[in-house]
Structure 1
């Protein structure tokens, strides 16, 4: 059966025709820019399709970026909290160090004679017995401490060494009931004895005659008697004077100058080197001979 219509051009003819048309289009587009408007129009028509095609990828990228950013924010926030805790702990340490430095400076600036040997000690423990006012310090026989040695802080007299160990010692505070220190009123030189009462804020003074010139607010300093404490160091300030004629002696109380309940660092004092007193001409002659030999 023969077809009604004849076949069109052969494939070879079609290929040649297409190549010729393509060459003409390339020539006119390159030399004359004839299809610039058409290209722009077609680009505008294709752009929505391109955006639509890339929308899933953009959505996935946005979601991944936001999820990663949120996780990073959580981690950074946790890191900031950790750093804040560390900084707060460092600030507290710096504050503690600053307070300790201030205490040490105040302690070293206490009115100690320049010719007196001194040493700083730190309190290791406080006696838990409420009826015994004693503390343990980190100095002992290896540091040259001895029993009865005077102990002060940046305010005044604290106590004396009670027992000496190899690397630590026990200090008896002036507020202990077994402690007493000879004092004098700085204003007029009247001598008294300051006795511990077992109360960290109070000292008592027994056997004070009613005629004694003593007033509230008088400063009591060490008298130097007994050889335990150097003369002139603050001990207490008179807080109460009661003169009851029905009693044989006046009731006198004072408050320690040292902050007994806030002690941290203490200052240990050594007695001044006594000057040798020559009692005879033989001693003077011996000293003169030694001088001649040295010269």
Structure 2
């Protein structure tokens, strides 16, 4: 007993057994690792699952936010495009000079041989049969049927539609016929000797009293002269965006403007100006 105490006292003072303890600790260390392995592995596994679950939840949250932000961005883009279209229509209403009413397309006839659209305005807003329909670029067509809350309009490219036009450059009068193609109008019965060229602007002539004078209708895109025929083959491209416009203008000639129904953009702007 005394020898052990003496040995411990000597080691404490002179550190003679330090090398032996170091060697023993090195030998015992693998055993300590093996003994502690289940606990360490359990903690690592728990932390890994928790981290994976957290990352999965974070990824799902970010994915949802991404979808929401994309939807909002698309909505903002659509609102921006609609705002631009309405600004163009407003500018067009100032140029028109007659009383106008902005209408929105509810549906489009899918029949390839019938170019008709349904509008969200009807007789309660003063819409009438034969009323001209325009967009920011030119004449689109005319109303052919009116209900209390909706109206059906025939586009100028419908095979049953015809509109009196004239060449803006020289006043040459003709008729623009729809041929069932959304991007073409036919100008029949134009003599080979007539002064008409590719690029000529066609405007409404006002003849017949249906369409006011001077509205843009189309641009001549093809003039084909055939010496063997009495008339030239002339094709025009409509200026109105018939397959893209969503908001349109219903126009009242001055003599038919219904009081208190259609919005006169020019008058409203003049009243708002101090």
TM normalised by structure 2 equals 0.75
Instruction: Say which SS state the counterpart of residue 92 (structure 2) adopts.
Output: coil
1:173 to 147, 152, 155: 155
Q: Counterpart in 1 of 2:78?
A: 96
Larger radius of gyration: 1
- List structure 1 segments (4+ residues) > 6 angstroms apart after TM superposition: 55-58
- Find out whether 1:218 has 2:200 as its counterpart: yes
1:239 to 221, 228, 232: 221
For residues 75 and 95 of structure 1, the distance between their equivalents in structure 2, rounded to whole angstroms, comes to 30
> What is the Cα deviation at residue 85 of structure 1?
1.6
What is the correspondence of 1:72-221 to structure 2 with a 5 Å cutoff?
A: 72-110=54-92, 112-113=94-95, 115-221=97-203
Number of corresponding residues: 235
CA RMSD of aligned residues (A): 3.1
Task: For residues 56-96 of structure 1, give each alpha carbon's deviation from its aligned partner in whole angstroms, at most 9, with x where no partner exists.
Answer: 89846665444323321211111111221222222222222
Task: For residues 177-224 of structure 1, give each alpha carbon's deviation from its aligned partner in whole angstroms, at most 9, with x where no partner exists.
Answer: 111111111111111111111111111112212222111110000111
> What is the Cα deviation at residue 259 of structure 1?
1.9
> What is the Cα deviation at residue 111 of structure 1?
6.0
For residues 245 and 56 of structure 1, the distance between their equivalents in structure 2, rounded to whole angstroms, comes to 101
Instruction: Say which SS state the counterpart of residue 253 (structure 1) adopts.
Output: strand
Instruction: Say which SS state the counterpart of residue 160 (structure 2) adopts.
Output: coil
For residues 202 and 70 of structure 1, the distance between their equivalents in structure 2, rounded to whole angstroms, comes to 61
For residues 214 and 130 of structure 1, the distance between their equivalents in structure 2, rounded to whole angstroms, comes to 30
What is the correspondence of 1:34-73 to structure 2 with a 5 Å cutoff?
A: 59=40, 64-73=46-55
- Structure 2: gaps spanning 5 or more residues: 1-11, 14-20, 26-31, 257-274
Q: Counterpart in 2 of 1:257?
A: 239
> What is the Cα deviation at residue 225 of structure 1?
1.4
- Structure 1: gaps spanning 5 or more residues: 1-36, 39-44, 275-295
Q: Counterpart in 1 of 2:251?
A: 269
